[in-house]
Structure 1
């Protein structure tokens, strides 16, 4: 279909090229690029002319004001654009792009590559390099794009580009745009630590994310954490979590929880009798994770789920260590507080992110067996056996005592009491 459209464009005096990341990925992966949006830049036509041509293939919609993009309603993965200046040369059009590996164009009809900034050579060198000195001034978000691309592609960042990032003002970037780049870094990279280390080196953590910056040089017990400070541990945890995220029903929550799970340690760390402790860092960290994501205008459900995982991230291992004393009620309460399947993935990443081989399987097997023996679904909260209608049937009128009775009934359920036992107890209470 695209070639038919492009041939139509050529028949009207225009010329169309694949551009941006699609060309980069074609050169890296060959023609089998899947699940990728396709950027197509059209030269020598006006927007009105292009819309007229595209109308033969579906309804065209113009989106964006500062940089208009034309989309076909039934092919949302295709983005048709025009140069900012109608008279722009091919080189000028490429110069406005961020990095050399993203600044190449491919003629859709003959496959010829136009490469004015050495993008193909930088692909060979596996390097992220800016096209012009003005790229970060034009859009400071490109600093985040550089580090997430480095992580996604396992590329290095050119020292000259890194210097520009260090000088780039970041304070005016909209929080939602930063969140999107962090999301790509965490979800699309097999080793997110590459990008996070570059954020540290470029001063982005210190300037924009002080809660993460505070993890650097925050000491931990060398017995439990031979890998080093909290920042080094966090980098290892996000990399382990990246390898587990395909098992997750919500990888975004898992990865942000991996990044933020120990964010409470700087505030909680103390040295007591020569021993480094961080008691309560899970509770403090949950609150700080909520603040961190709130400052980035994250969705409420993302914040809530990351909060829960951060708050509970220590429990699987702590329960396992005292497994001979753990009650059924404790297992039921855990299931009722958090998605234990997701929690186990985070706990595994935390357990293994220690700079040495560790086997998490005994922890997983024990907790799964305990939940299975109690008939619990690790991903579902426990449904109360006694509800308001049951109290009304016993003659209890809704009021201040109503909620207290329901809460106590649920506590009895968590202790293992049957529905009949709970109703009998309620009956005696209501009769009195």
Structure 2
């Protein structure tokens, strides 16, 4: 069914159809819109079901239907209003009927730039809260005082600021602060969903900075908040404390990789510095070990994707010595570990280069060296060797190859 056919059938029985949310926002911003969500007004659910008997109903607290339109599965909802009566995102009573207007529906939404609709088929923009002005001004502003009633909206505002490189209005930051009490008790799946989406934004550091401005960072991601104020030697870190350094590396890595696991590893590479005793500052001896502890605490609180966790753990453990090794045997061992790490060779090297500014020659040539190591002919292994002796022989051959290659560069 085409959108034109869908709209015509709704209009024939007196209903109204609107496209809402992100699609309209992105269209007005000049970005490529993604999935379309539709809202219906002046229509009873029973009438809709009669018109579209094959529509699949989803959602429990209010009806949302899935219909294939123009080849895509689209969400069709009825205009509704909400009233906060409990805790968290489930603590709402919902009213949806044919008397709820599109303006009523838009009023319940989080930010003004998301409270815009397009009426079909006329393509008339309905913008009662002047969200289009916010888009022009690159500003995120709460639609109403009801913003803080769903606590995850605070994270969504920070994430969209990072996604679009928008500012958040000061009064909206104050409303984000009010989300703290309920946010810390929200299901970790909702927290992880926003984190995952933040990790693929244009400038992910903006997400964490706005959470800090709204006094939420220590509640949601205490391991990152712990980096604030942890001083570092100025000679090596003129950018500031461990938090500033982490934000800098995160954004540098984001410029080189779209892989959220690689970006997360960058976020976590110095996680152990948050556990450094104040008496030791500005030095952070052993933060490679305390970083594993901090990461494990994070994972215990909210289960991280396995590849994120494993990749971050590998970077935390190896990022300091990766840029400093000199002994051929240790270099061989590390290169073979890097080859098997969850982030891939290139992902690991992107983080190390961002952190160290320059890759050592053996990491610059890592693909060639690994190919060289795997060229060792096992047929040349002495026949009398057994078990571990064979592994030691293979390692020795690779060390010889590394030394020969290194000498050729001198």
Structure 2 match to 1:343: 348
- Aligned CA distance change for structure 1 residues 4 and 362 (closer, same or farther; 3 Å): farther
Contact 1:269 1:277 in 2 (8 A): no
Q: Tell me the CA shift for residue 112 of structure 1.
A: 0.5
**CA distance in structure 2 between the aligned counterparts of 1:217 and 1:185, rounded to whole angstroms:** 24
Structure 2 match to 1:18: 19
Unaligned runs of 5+ in 1: 352-357, 377-384, 386-393, 395-404, 418-432
Q: Tell me the CA shift for residue 47 of structure 1.
A: 2.5
Query: Residue 106 of structure 1: SS of its match in structure 2?
Result: strand
**CA distance in structure 1 between the aligned counterparts of 2:243 and 2:26, rounded to whole angstroms:** 32
Unaligned runs of 5+ in 2: 81-95, 379-383, 399-410
Structure 1 match to 2:273: 265
**CA distance in structure 2 between the aligned counterparts of 1:2 and 1:232, rounded to whole angstroms:** 48
- 1:368-410 per-residue CA deviation (whole Å, 9 max, x = no partner) reads 343232238xxxxxxxx8xxxxxxxx9xxxxxxxxxx866654
**CA distance in structure 2 between the aligned counterparts of 1:83 and 1:209, rounded to whole angstroms:** 35
The yes-or-no answer on 1:46 pairing with 2:52 is no
Pick aligned residue for 1:293 from 299, 303, 327: 299
- Aligned CA distance change for structure 1 residues 245 and 334 (closer, same or farther; 3 Å): closer
Contact 1:312 1:343 in 2 (8 A): no
Contact 2:18 2:119 in 1 (8 A): yes
Structure 2 match to 1:8: 9
- 1:407-428 per-residue CA deviation (whole Å, 9 max, x = no partner) reads 66545544448xxxxxxxxxxx
Q: Tell me the CA shift for residue 123 of structure 1.
A: 1.0
| Aligned positions of 1:50-65 closer than 5 A | 50-55=48-53, 59-65=54-60
| Aligned positions of 1:15-414 closer than 5 A | 15-29=16-30, 32-33=32-33, 36-55=34-53, 59-72=54-67, 75=71, 77-84=73-80, 85-86=96-97, 87-137=99-149, 139-168=150-179, 169=181, 170-187=183-200, 189-246=201-258, 251-268=259-276, 276-319=282-325, 322=326, 327-336=331-340, 339-351=344-356, 358-360=357-359, 364-375=363-374, 409-414=390-395
- 1:304-359 per-residue CA deviation (whole Å, 9 max, x = no partner) reads 3332233223343223xx377855344334434563222112212323xxxxxx45
**CA distance in structure 2 between the aligned counterparts of 1:176 and 1:44, rounded to whole angstroms:** 35
**CA distance in structure 2 between the aligned counterparts of 1:47 and 1:415, rounded to whole angstroms:** 74
Structure 2 match to 1:422: none
Query: Residue 38 of structure 2: SS of its match in structure 1?
Result: strand
Q: Tell me the CA shift for residue 252 of structure 1.
A: 1.9
**CA distance in structure 2 between the aligned counterparts of 1:346 and 1:243, rounded to whole angstroms:** 11
User: Aligned pair count?
Assistant: 372
Query: Residue 372 of structure 1: SS of its match in structure 2?
Result: helix
Contact 2:4 2:121 in 1 (8 A): yes
**CA distance in structure 1 between the aligned counterparts of 2:252 and 2:73, rounded to whole angstroms:** 31
- 1:61-116 per-residue CA deviation (whole Å, 9 max, x = no partner) reads 11221243211368554111112321212211111111000001001211111111
Contact 1:294 1:303 in 2 (8 A): no
Calculate the TM-score normalised by the size of structure 2.
0.82
- Aligned CA distance change for structure 1 residues 51 and 361 (closer, same or farther; 3 Å): farther
Return 38-47 or 405-414, whichever deviates more.
405-414
**CA distance in structure 2 between the aligned counterparts of 1:223 and 1:271, rounded to whole angstroms:** 19
